[in-house]
Amino acid sequence: MIVVGDEVRTAIAAQQPVVALESTIFSTLGLPSPANAEALQLCLSAVRKTGAIPALTAVLDGVIWAGVPQELYERVLGCSVKVAARDLAIATSQKFSSGATTVSASVAIADQVGIEVFATGGIGGVHRESEITADISADLNALAQHPVMVVSAGAKAFLDLPRTLEYLETQSVPVVGWQTNEFPAFYTRTSGLLISHRVDDATGAAQLHLDRRALGQGGTLLVVPIPSEAELDSSEIDRAIEKSLAEVQERRLTGPQVTPHVLAAVEKATAGESVAANLALAEHNASIAGQVAVEIAAR
């Protein structure tokens, strides 16, 4: 069962701009407290400043929310269980007390209720050594299946970025750069990987989404580089990631255990600078998503 919050329901009915938000990034699984609460307020505010309405997604008491009411935000911040798209029916049938929605779950929810734009920090993707583990995020298939424009700072930096791009191509998901011709690498603005398409403003992004919708096609990944003032040193990030991935193998961590471990290791290695970078890129993505949603609603 999906419950649409009052403000979001009114906005959708009036064909006003709405931006869906995941909740994993705002839970303890995404950012440490109190940075997770700061991230939530920054993203909510960024969307509203564009004239769009934010729709925070989560599972609470067995109910899937699209537009969590403010009085329940504290429960979202305290979530310690991830809910992906495949878990949504399980979460409702088994009445999960609380669950933080991933990208795949949030995109599925957005599509179900008629929200066309979704903002996140970074999507999941193809993991390194996937030829052995077959570890590929459900986020990628969700992008292919649901006609939602996903705004992110690329994929998480510790993933196999070339294979992630290749997988998206096989799923017919266009990867479009926001004022860039390179795939961003989350904490850094560039990865050295060229992408074929770009847009330079919200008008272009909105038209692309509407044209794909008219053709009955799936989602689009709009990749937005982290603001230059928040970008981290790529060599420092690479060293931290390599060390943390070695620990992942040593401890035999898999699936949803990997991301929190790597993010914590990067935070430690950068003396907290990665958290500030995460806040900056999440807020920036939310703002871009709001601008695109406004343009879509105006057409």
The DSSP call for residue 29 is: T
Q: Which residues are catalytic?
A: 22, 156
Judging by beta carbons within 10 Å of its beta carbon (0-12, 13-18, 19+), is residue 229 exposed, middle or buried? exposed
Tokens of 241: 């990631």
Q: Is 52 helix (H, G, I), strand (E, B) or coil?
A: coil
Provide the H-helix boundaries in the chain.
6-13, 35-49, 73-77, 88-93, 103-113, 130-133, 138-145, 161-170, 202-214, 234-251, 258-269, 273-297
Residue 1: half-sphere exposure toward Cβ, Cα within 13 Å: 11
How many Cα atoms within 13 Å fall on the side-chain side of residue 116? 23
- What are the domain boundaries of the chain? 2-297
Superfamily grouping for domain 2-297: Indigoidine synthase domain (3.40.1790.10)
CA distances from 94 to 50, 89, 90, 97 (A): 38, 8, 6, 9
pLDDT of the residue at 255:
66
Average pLDDT for runs of 10 along the chain of length 299? 96 98 94 96 98 98 98 97 97 97 98 98 91 88 98 93 97 98 96 97 98 97 98 88 79 72 78 92 98 97
- The span from the CA of 177 to the CA of 281, in Å, is 15
Cα-based distances in Å from 191 to 124, 150, 180, 198, 200 = 16, 19, 12, 16, 19
CA pair distance 190, 226, nearest whole angstrom: 9
